[in-house]
Structure 1
């Protein structure tokens, strides 16, 4: 009687290794493309030359990229997956706008991982319309992801006349992407010097202050048990004592304190 075959425990590591090898090859092809674009010019460079510089066959190039302009953006697909993972793993009590801001940090970290290469790519996209269009298309993918997430926290069944939640969700997603793009461009124009994540945090603080919690009709109200579990404040004489979960957003903690003070 044939014996059943148990799944190999090494399947997951092999899959991970394959993904790592794929990203390595994409980056090698991107480096070859960048080198040729810088020396020969974008229009004069062919796919065959990019493949040859990377030491692979033409068909290998097309297994990884559909065109030569796509070749200088090797990490966007993986970064989009990581950003989506941040959204999917968000704590239930977290403000959706805070979650989106954390998600888009995956994009800035992609650029910050290779400052010099990012600056060279930025200069190239300014000079080549086809690359600029590719960059715009990539940004649009992030914006759609974040807009869908914010709209997912809007309860359509609870919509009332005059409720601007859907509008706020779309505008807020655009604002987060715009803040990211502004900080990234300024950082790249300056030679990729300085703490770009700190600059991004400052920009996001402005976005949060502007939009606040104006959307999210299906999120717990201020007095709901779930939010109370995130942060609680108790008056002890002339002192306020606040206890918060370690993953509670700062904005939630501050609202709890403000609510306690206003209750005096």
Structure 2
């Protein structure tokens, strides 16, 4: 038994190292592609140019990417795997909408890890239709993943056969909210508290889709938005909020309660 255990560890380590080397090469090729697209122009850059700039052979490029368009997005495959892992590990009591919101945050983390690179990539995709189409295709993969997840967890007897539509619309809403915040952040050159903005956007999605019946029943409740209540005499403002509620959402709720009290 000891022999088996001693042999198993190097296999795992080798696999981890191989994955790390793969991602490193993909990013190296992507960096070379972005540099050439920016200096020579997209149309004038070939796969051979990218491979040469990265110091590798043409066949090495095609072991990692199928086209030069694909090279500009080196991390989406791994990010999709991480997002799926979030769904697979979700606690039973968590509402599926909350889980999907956590899953799409892996995409934001990918962009936020290298703001300057993400901003340059965004500028390129706005200028080159082929890259914009590749980006749209990447977004569609996340939507399909989240749609499948939600469909598996919505109560199939709750909406008379409309569950596939509801799952797709809800998944699209989460992805759209994420992309709306992401684009605003990229247009600001990667500045600002994107995490807080994302939480605010997700709070809106939760209020819209959180009431959909799920297989978890009453225990699978969506994270509620902060609630604020004023006393009848207007002397006390009591705020009740989850400890993980975004501060911006708590402040907005308090302001709305105060406005209601003062008749503003």
Map of 1:64-143 to 2, 5 A cutoff?
Answer: 64-143=64-143
Picking from 217, 220, 225, the partner of 2:217 is 220
User: 1: CA distance between counterparts of 2:52 and 2:125?
Assistant: 23
Structure 2 equivalent of residue 25 of structure 1: 25
Deviation string 1:176-208 (CA, Å, 9 cap, x unpaired) is 000011000111011110121111111000110
Map of 1:1-264 to 2, 5 A cutoff?
Answer: 6=4, 7-156=7-156, 159=157, 162=160, 164-216=162-214, 218-221=215-218
User: 2: CA distance between counterparts of 1:153 and 1:161?
Assistant: 13
Shift of 1:16: 0.4
Aligned residues, how many?
A: 223
Corresponding residue SS for 1:221: helix
Deviation string 1:40-85 (CA, Å, 9 cap, x unpaired) is 0000001111011101111100000000010010000000000000
TM-score (norm 1): 0.79
Q: Which runs of 5+ in 2 are unaligned?
A: 222-241, 246-264
Shift of 1:163: 6.7
Contact 2:181 2:194 survives alignment (8 Å): yes
User: 1: CA distance between counterparts of 2:42 and 2:87?
Assistant: 36
TM-score (norm 2): 0.79
Corresponding residue SS for 2:217: coil
Shift of 1:95: 0.4
Moved over 3 A (4+): 5-8, 160-166
User: 2: CA distance between counterparts of 1:101 and 1:133?
Assistant: 24
Change (3 A) 1:106 1:161: closer
Change (3 A) 1:21 1:153: same
User: 2: CA distance between counterparts of 1:182 and 1:77?
Assistant: 21
User: 2: CA distance between counterparts of 1:146 and 1:168?
Assistant: 12
Shift of 1:162: 4.4
CA RMSD of aligned residues (A): 2.2
Q: Which runs of 5+ in 1 are unaligned?
A: 228-243, 251-264
Corresponding residue SS for 1:51: helix
User: 1: CA distance between counterparts of 2:136 and 2:158?
Assistant: 35
